[in-house]
Amino acid sequence: MKNIYIAMSVFSALIFAGCSDDYLDVKPSQSIPVEDLELYNNDIGAKSFVTSVYNEFLSWEMSSFAWNGISSIASDDADKGSIPGDTGADKDILDALTYEGSNPSVETIFKANYVGINRANQAIVIVPKLDKANSDLRSRLVGEAKFLRAFMYFTLVKCYGGVPLIDHIPVPGVESDRIMQLTRKTPAEIYAFIEQDLNEAAAALPEKSAYSDADKARASKGAAYALLAKVSLYQKKWQQVVDNCNKVTGYSIVGDYASMYKVTGEFGPESIFEINSVGTAPALGIDNYSVSQGIRSNGGWGWGFNAPSQSLINAYEPGDVRKAATIIFPGSTLYDGRIVPSLTQEEITAGFPKAANYKAYSSNFTDQGKADANIRYLRYAEVLLMKAEAFNELGQTGDAIPLLNQIRNRANLGVTPAVSQADVRIAIWKERRVELAFEHDRFFDLVRTGQAKAAFAIDGKTFTEGKNEVFPLPASFLREASGLSQQNPLYVN
């Protein structure tokens, strides 16, 4: 039974229900009655504060339709899907790269991550005060909260560039805190803060092997170092990528690529960090994550959004086993024996998508809105690819190729024909695409590697350099900021 996220404490819910009208504000702990705090002065109570941070990842706002729109539909790996007249509120605009500051998905992701960050800030402040809870547990919980806060700031800096840095619980009426919440920091400042949080998290967290089954979804030391390597990757700190990848120990790539995306493959030897989509009441899963991407047909499998693009389909080499484990085609039989309905001629004429995202598929369709497909965010295969990329950029191409070949051999492709540094670079980028498809990396990979303009052109989209590297800040945030923050270049509010 997957129950780590089931209990969001009543106490934490009380805190976050009492928000002020300020865009990024939450009710501060200073207003929490001492007698209420004492109710949570034990191991279970201490855990509940960090559990509330994980719970945000189950929300529609954080992990579902808007996130798929920004991280996938806006990339060249996916098209809007559904039928032409069904825009999904704004998914057609995301697909066409014509979004502006009023875009609802842009606002949703911005707000959701700050809700999570404020929950993490609550945990970081309150958990150390719970002196009746085990001291080692408290230290670990603060490490988890810092990892999650870093994870969310990494999402924000990739999406928007510079953002406000809220590193403590804001106090209403304190002018410096108001300014803090509404003033952008530079990307460099955000990255420095992320690195600090991850280093402190790594020092406090145990290895994955030290967790019991009940806690298997919690952040570990390996997760902190893997995310730190990825943060270094985005900053082109190549030696730090290698150094942090070397600290990710106790993991291995699994033999069967497809097995990782089955319920039975969750938290396997390759999994470093994944969001546990709960399968039992009251939290039945990530809100509409699966069904929004399910194949659209008369069989009633889903809404049909986030459909694999022809560009992605063409990216797989003949014989690559990852293709069948990434893309669902009508008429195929899935691992649990379920047959995907073929499209009728009427559906084809109507423009129903001809493929869907296999990695979002769940065999648990008892509640289609909240089926229990996990989101895999950090896998050991990516650690190998990050290390390979860093070695190659450091001029150590001979060390990069064997790591690349581990990934290709698992995919049934054999060794890479690439030899030169330039060719190996392209080969690594290509492997990242097909290895990590629909794992929420592609848009950001295109930007950080400078491939975006050419890749989007192949997919029939126009990527405007100097603009589309980041998404616009929400217009609602900028209205409240009243000049303390400015919009990203070339966007309108």
| 103 within some domain | yes
Question: Which class for 423: exposed (0-12), middle (13-18), buried (19 or more C-beta within 10 A)?
Answer: middle
Of 205, 236, 258, the position where a domain reaches its end is 205
| 456 within some domain | no
Residues 193 and 324 in one domain: no
pTM recorded for the entire structure: 0.94
Question: Which residue, among 320, 285, 327, 343, has the nearest Cα to 431 in the 3D structure?
Answer: 320
Query: Which CATH number characterizes residue 82's domain?
Result: 1.25.40.390
Residues 15 and 127 in one domain: yes
Structural domains of the chain, count: 2
- pLDDT given at position 2: 40
Question: Which residue, among 469, 414, 477, has the nearest Cα to 443 in the 3D structure?
Answer: 469
- pLDDT given at position 300: 66
- pLDDT given at position 333: 86
Residues 175 and 309 in one domain: no
Residues 66 and 182 in one domain: yes
Cα-Cα-Cα-Cα dihedral sign, residues 88, 93, 97, 102: negative
Question: Which residue, among 473, 489, 472, has the nearest Cα to 182 in the 3D structure?
Answer: 473
Residues 312 and 183 in one domain: no
CA 377 to chain centre: 6
| 450 within some domain | no
How far is Cα 493 from Cα 472, in angstroms, rounded to an integer? 8
- pLDDT given at position 317: 98
Residue-by-residue pLDDT tens, the chain, 493 positions:
343 332 333 333 323 332 333 445 444 333 455 567 889 999 999 999 999 999 999 999 999 999 999 999 999 999 999 999 999 999 999 999 999 999 999 999 999 999 999 999 999 999 999 999 999 999 999 999 999 999 999 999 999 999 999 999 999 999 999 999 999 999 999 999 999 999 999 999 999 999 999 999 999 999 999 999 999 999 999 999 999 999 999 999 999 999 999 988 999 999 999 999 876 665 678 999 998 998 887 666 789 999 999 999 999 999 999 999 999 998 888 888 888 888 889 888 999 998 999 999 877 655 567 778 899 999 999 999 999 999 999 999 999 999 999 999 999 999 999 999 999 999 999 999 999 999 999 999 999 999 999 999 998 899 999 999 999 999 999 999 999 999 999 999 8
Residues 54 and 197 in one domain: yes
Residue 274 phi, psi dihedral angles, 5° rounding = -140, 155
DSSP β-bridge partners for residue 273:
378
Two structure tokens written together for 22: 């300020």
| 436 within some domain | no
How far is Cα 71 from Cα 83, in angstroms, rounded to an integer? 20
Residues 177 and 63 in one domain: yes
- pLDDT given at position 368: 62
| 113 within some domain | yes
Q: Give the type of residue at 396.
A: Q
How many C-beta atoms lie closer than 10 Å to residue 462's C-beta?
Answer: 11
CB burial of 232-241 (b: ≥16 within 10 Å; e: otherwise) equals bbbbebbebb
Residues 65 and 195 in one domain: yes
Question: Which residue, among 355, 336, 361, has the nearest Cα to 296 in the 3D structure?
Answer: 355
Residues 173 and 320 in one domain: no
Of 205, 230, 253, the position where a domain reaches its end is 205
Q: In which domain, by residue range, is 322 found?
A: 305-369
- pLDDT given at position 295: 84
Of 354, 369, 384, the position where a domain reaches its end is 369
Residue 304 near residue 76 (C-beta atoms within 8 A): no
Residue 171 near residue 27 (C-beta atoms within 8 A): no
Q: Calculate the alpha carbon distances from 423 to 314, 401, 428, 456 in Å.
A: 19, 11, 9, 21
Residues 24 and 153 in one domain: yes
DSSP character at residue 249: -
| 98 within some domain | yes
Alpha helices in 219-336 (DSSP H): 221-234, 238-246, 310-315
Residue 275 near residue 377 (C-beta atoms within 8 A): yes
- pLDDT given at position 3: 36
| 190 within some domain | yes
Two structure tokens written together for 156: 């924000």
Q: Which residues contact 335 (CB under 8 A, 6 or more apart)?
A: 258, 262, 363
- pLDDT given at position 366: 52
How far is Cα 321 from Cα 394, in angstroms, rounded to an integer? 31
Residue with tokens 């029939």: 460
**Polymer length of the chain:** 493
- pLDDT given at position 370: 77
| 240 within some domain | no
